[in-house]
Amino acid sequence: MSTKKPSTTDKDVQSNSPAVAIFQWLTYVFWGVTAALATALVAISAELVVNGYSNMLNSVIFVVAAVFVVLPLALTFDHFFSRHERDHKNGIGMVLMVIHAVLAALLAVIALATALFSVVSMVVFADEASDMISMLSAASAAVVLFGLIFVRIMRPVTKSRLRLIVRSLLLVLVSAVLVWAIAGPATQVVIRQQDERTVWALQSTSNIISGYVLAEAALPEKLEDALEYSYSGDTGVDALERNLASGRITYTPNVLPALVEDEVTTFYYKVCATFDYADESRDQYTYGVAADERGFSENFTNISTEAGTNCYNLKFSSYGDTVKPF
């Protein structure tokens, strides 16, 4: 006795109209982008928890804002697509499903491999365990999120509540990541803005000193007296003025007598800055030539990454006979 497979009617096959195809494509894309952004937030948040800083800390505000835009779009397009989605697809609907399912599966597998690599590295290289924790956290988040998206694409089961369950899980997980990112990295960005302004102020100091010396043939007695000698477009002048007023930056002129050699006059001064938080990313702002044998440099070569007050020995050399030594 033969059994017949149930026939598929036209109502059981998804429409290939342009509107349905667009909703289907945008649903898959926005869920994928949401998962990628949430993974980035997990990486930044985990690194901040483990190390006390993150090299991507300043970008977290933009990632959070992007999630607030993309997540509602994913939910909205998913809602409208679900009204026309069918378990059976052909034509453009099948093509879109296969392409995005493959991408979601590949990303989930890559994330799983990364997570396993992180675990092995933590066991083998114990000294690097802290660096691997943030990678493991981000990879684990990617496995879960892209795995759910794969299920959403491949198993819609339109006559059950599976789509709603998967959609709700994605919403809850991404919302949890958002709360963590806002309470952690995003809040730290706001709190650490004063330290950022102090860095900007330090970067302007040597430029202001050089402008004053070239015009007045001496170091200023107070750094406030030299603010008008800043270069045009120097955005750190306002920050420097505020840091001087608050005492976060102090200035000491002529810590060594000016030195004249072969019509080159070199002035020596010291600048101290106070930071509230340790931040390894501050070392990206170091530049200039190395310090001389007495420990003085033309520019800031090693802005401290530690919290507290740190002082820097600086110098400025003027060429010609227009500058008189102190």
Judgement on whether residues 269 and 156 belong to the same structural domain of the protein: no
Judge whether 33 lies within some domain.
yes
Q: Which of 191, 226, 242 represents a domain boundary (last residue)?
A: 191
3 state DSSP class of 318: strand
- Looking at 164, 191, 218, which one is the last position of a domain? 191
304, part of any domain:
yes
Domain count, the chain: 2
Residue 17: pLDDT over 70 = yes
CB 149 within 8 A of CB 117: no
Same domain, 121 and 204: no
Q: Look at 17 and 176; give whichever has higher pLDDT.
A: 176
Q: Are residues 202 and 314 in the same domain?
A: yes
Distance CA 245, CA 310 (A): 18
Q: pLDDT tens across 19-68, in order?
A: 888 999 999 999 999 999 999 999 988 888 887 767 677 788 899 999 99
Q: Are residues 19 and 153 in the same domain?
A: yes
Q: Report pLDDT digits (tens) over 149-202.
A: 999 998 777 677 888 899 999 999 999 999 999 988 888 877 777 888 888 888
What per-residue confidence (pLDDT) applies to 32?
96
Same domain, 178 and 135: yes
The reply to whether 302 falls in a domain is: yes
Domain membership flag for residue 258: yes
Q: Are residues 239 and 280 in the same domain?
A: yes
pLDDT band at 2 (very low <50, low <70, confident <90, very high): very low
Statement to judge: residues 93 and 214 lie in one domain: no
Query: In which band, very low, low, confident or very high, does the pLDDT at 285 lie, cut at 50, 70 and 90?
Result: low
Statement to judge: residues 155 and 286 lie in one domain = no
Burial per residue of 224-250, b for 16 or more beta-carbon CB atoms within 10 angstroms, e otherwise? eebbebbeeebebbebbbebbeeebbe
Name the residue range of residue 175's domain. 12-191
Q: Domain for residue 6, yes or no?
A: no
pLDDT of the residue at 304: 77
Question: Looking at the structure, do residues 148 and 164 belong to the same domain, yes or no?
Answer: yes
Determine, yes or no, domain membership for 57: yes
End-to-end CA distance of the chain: 111
What are the percentages of helix, strand and coil residues in the chain, rounded to 5? 60, 10, 25
pLDDT digits (tens, 9 = 90+) for 233-258: 556 788 888 888 889 999 999 889 88
Q: What is the pLDDT of residue 324?
A: 45
Whole-prediction pTM: 0.69
The reply to whether 67 and 39 lie within a common domain is yes
- Phi and psi at residue 159, in whole multiples of 5°? -95, 10
What's the CA gap between 172 and 167, in Å, rounded? 9
Report which of 223, 316, 311 is spatially closest to residue 264, judged by C-alpha positions.
316
Domain end, chosen from 171, 191, 211, is at 191
Q: Is residue 20 part of a domain?
A: yes
Say whether both 258 and 180 belong to one domain.
Answer: no
Q: Answer whether residue 7 is part of any domain.
A: no
218/82 same-domain check: no
